[in-house]
Amino acid sequence: MAARSSSDAESALFSGAEVEFLAEDDTVVMVPTLRMDTLHLICGDFGPFMPQVPTSVPLWLGIAMKKRGKCRLRAPEWMTVENLTQVLELERDSPQEFQPLPFHYVEVSRLLMDNESLDHDERPEADCSKPTVEKGRHLRDTLLKLVELQK
């Protein structure tokens, strides 16, 4: 049996919803709009939160607080159109290796864009990055299939 990449193995083991659930543990930067004491949760302690002081939290917590109007979320640095375009070009030029992106980059970008979780001022950049994320995903899928065929 041919070796599989970690993303292939994960997608074979988990449904799309389960992979998305795992991606929600990736961290994002949120900017609280109010003061809050530390949240003591089963998975860890987060905070204390101070207005306008950026802090890293799991994606699920950032989205939940954004929906309640308690924070603004910043798009991850890797999610800029400039960065994604550069990654895409490098992967086209050198198909033997993938450029560094978070393991769940597709799911994280989809969660941030589909939930309209990003700030209005970051929204145009995120909207432009969506097609680039999809192009990158398709390119990686194609490259992985080519590697499988060569074995």
| 14-39 pLDDT tens trace | 898 999 999 999 999 999 999 999 99
pLDDT in tens, 83-122: 888 998 998 898 788 889 899 999 998 898 886 777 656 5
Domain membership of residue 1 (yes or no) is: no
- Does 128 fall in a domain? yes
Q: In the chain, how many domains are there? A: 1
The pLDDT of residue 9 is above 70: no
What is the identity of the amino acid at 105? Y
pLDDT tier at 5 (50, 70, 90 boundaries)?
A: very low
- Tokens found for residue 149: 């065929």
Dihedral pair phi/psi, residue 76, rounded to 5°: -60, 150
Asked, for residue 125, whether it belongs to a domain, the answer is: yes
Q: Which domain holds residue 54?
A: 6-150
CATH number at residue 105: 3.40.5.50
| Residue 86 belongs to some domain of the structure | yes
Instruction: Check residue 99 and report its DSSP letter.
Output: P
Domain-embedded: residue 33: yes
Q: Max Cα separation, the chain?
A: 56
**Residue 75 located in a structural domain:** yes
pTM: 0.78
Residue 98, in any domain of the structure: yes
